[in-house]
Amino acid sequence: MGEIIERPPVNLVIGFIYKAKDQLLKSKEELVCCYGDFDFESEELFFNHTMYYVKEMGGPLFRQFASFKNLISPEELPSIKIKTNEIEDTLRDHQLVRQINLDPGYLCASALILATTKNHQQRIYLSKGIYGESELFYQDGKFNHWDWTYPDYQTQEYKDIFIVIRNLYAKKIKNTSYRFI
């Protein structure tokens, strides 16, 4: 029988998809108020991997990722997803059109996990109507993707961003009683 051990804290990450920079800045302000400062923000990337968001938000769209300085418990992810949905709602325009998409998740030593409200065969129910999905896994010194991984997360550009965040996470874990595994 395996020994039950406490899960180490994980690194909260947020993916932003947006059209207008002011919406990005407003959402960042809200997130920092809730979860503390960022320790990493990626460059602004052009987002053209799907038309799904263009239908609702217009275009052109941009993508950015941020990592938070404070580590979280993985059990917090459902509540964080609910909060990011609330932030999206408060930033809707007067025609109820979404202005920004916030994708919270966490990075641990072995994977990038994203939160979603949509069920699918590879997703695991967490709580509060929220599912988790392993988007990338770390093996052989690099991030790898699954067959179901979103096309943009399959790019080397995104994987390189998550390597940077993983390295930051490793440094943070060294300052705790947990092992980086």
Q: Which two tokens stand for residue 144?
A: 């790898």
**Distance in Å from the first CA to the final CA of the chain:** 20
- Closest residue by Cα to residue 162 from 47, 59, 14: 14
Q: Which residues contact 140 (CB under 8 A, 6 or more apart)?
A: none
Q: Which two tokens stand for residue 60?
A: 């052109």
Q: What is the pLDDT of residues 28-58, one digit of tens each?
A: 999 999 999 999 999 999 998 888 888 888 8
Distance CA 91, CA 181 (A): 38
- In this structure, is the dihedral angle defined by the CA atoms of residues 72, 87, 110 and 171, taken in order, positive or negative? negative
Q: What is the pLDDT of residues 13-31, one digit of tens each?
A: 999 999 999 999 999 999 9
Between strands 61-72 and 38-41, the pairing is antiparallel
- pLDDT of 96 reads 65
Q: Which two tokens stand for residue 84?
A: 């990011």
The neighbour count for residue 146, using CB atoms within 10 Å, is 14
**Per-residue pLDDT for the chain (181 aa), expressed as one digit of tens each?**
888 888 899 999 999 999 999 999 999 999 999 999 999 999 999 998 888 888 888 889 999 999 999 999 999 999 999 999 999 999 988 776 889 999 999 999 999 999 999 999 999 999 999 999 999 999 999 999 999 999 999 999 999 999 999 999 999 998 887 777 6
**Amino acid at position 101, single letter:** N
Q: Which residues contact 7 (CB under 8 A, 6 or more apart)?
A: 73, 74
Q: Average pLDDT of the chain?
A: 94
- Closest residue by Cα to residue 76 from 2, 12, 5: 12
Cβ proximity of 19 and 61 under 8 Å: yes
Cβ proximity of 9 and 71 under 8 Å: yes
